[in-house]
Homo-oligomer: A and B are copies of this chain.
Amino acid sequence: MTGSSPPGAPHAFPKRVLGVSMPPIDALNTRMAQMNAAGGDVISLGQSVPFFGPPPRMIEAVRDALDSFGPRLHTYGPDAGIPELRHALARKLADFNGIEVDPDSQIMVTPGSNQAFMVTMMTILQPGDEVAIASPCYFSHHMAIELCGGVVREIPLGEESGFQMRMEEVERVLTPRTRAVVITSPNNPTGAVYDPGEVALMVRELTARGVYVVSDEAYEVFCYDGAKHVSPASLVDDAELVISLGSLSKTFGMTGWRIGYIAASAEVCRQAVKVQDAMAICAPIVCQVAAVAALDHMPAYPLGMMGEMKDRRRMLDAMLSETPALSWEKTHGAFFVMLRADVELDGRDTAWEMLERVGVLTVPGGAFGEQWSGFIRVSFGSPPRDRYEEALSRMASFFGVHARR
**Interface, chain A (partner B; CB < 8 A):** 1-3, 7-15, 17-18, 20-23, 26, 47, 49, 53-54, 59, 62-63, 66, 71-77, 79, 111-112, 114-115, 118, 122-127, 129, 140, 143-144, 147, 149, 176-179, 209-211, 240-241, 253-258, 267, 271, 273-275, 277-287, 290
Pick from B47, B74, B118: contact of A253, CB under 8 Å? B74
Nearest 3 pairs between A and B by C-beta?
Answer: A3-B126, A143-B278, A256-B285
User: A122 and B147 in contact (CB under 8 A), knowing A129-B7, A256-B74?
Assistant: yes
In the assembly, how many copies of this chain are there?
2
Residues of B contacting A54 with CB < 8 Å? 74
Name the residue on B nearest A212 (C-beta): B10
A-B contact pairs, 30 of them (CB 8 A): A7-B129, A7-B178, A8-B179, A8-B210, A12-B126, A13-B123, A14-B124, A14-B127, A22-B273, A49-B75, A62-B286, A63-B63, A72-B256, A73-B256, A74-B253, A74-B255, A76-B255, A76-B256, A114-B279, A114-B280, A115-B279, A118-B279, A122-B147, A127-B127, A127-B149, A143-B274, A144-B279, A149-B149, A258-B283, A280-B280
**Minimum distance in angstroms from A265 CB to a CB of chain B:** 8
Pick from B3, B13, B287: contact of A284, CB under 8 Å? B287
Are A49 and B76 in contact, with the CB atoms below 8 A? yes
